[in-house]
Amino acid sequence: MVQRIEGRVAVVTGAASGIGLAIADRMAAKGVRVFMTDLDPGALDAAVAPLVQRGDQVVAAPLDVRDAAAVEALAGRVVDRFGGLNIAVDNAGVVNRGLAWELSSEDWDRVLQVNLWGVINCVRSFVPRILATGEEGHVVNIASMAAVHPQERLGPYTVAKHGVLGLSDVLRADLLATGAPVGVSVVMPGSIRTGMNPVGRVDPDDVAVNVMDAIERDRAYVFTDHHSTGAVRRRLEAILAARDDVISPGQPDPEPHV
Q: What is the mean pLDDT of the chain?
A: 95
| Helix residue spans in the chain (DSSP H) | 18-29, 41-53, 68-82, 105-112, 118-133, 155-177, 204-217, 229-241
Please name which of 195, 214, 194, 114 lies closest in space to residue 161, comparing C-alpha atoms: 114
pLDDT of residue 195: 73
Low-confidence ranges of the chain (pLDDT < 70): 196, 199, 252-258
Say how far apart CA 125 and CA 69 lie, in whole Å: 9
Catalytically annotated residues:
157
Q: List pLDDT tens digits, range 117-146.
A: 999 999 999 999 999 999 999 999 999 999
Please report the pLDDT score of residue 166 as a whole number: 98
Per CATH, the architecture of 9-227 is what? 3-Layer(aba) Sandwich (3.40)
pLDDT at position 227, please?
A: 85
Q: Nearest Cα to 224, choosing from 38, 22, 44?
A: 22
Query: Cβ-count burial of 94 within 10 angstroms (0-12 exposed, 13-18 middle, 19+ buried)?
Result: middle
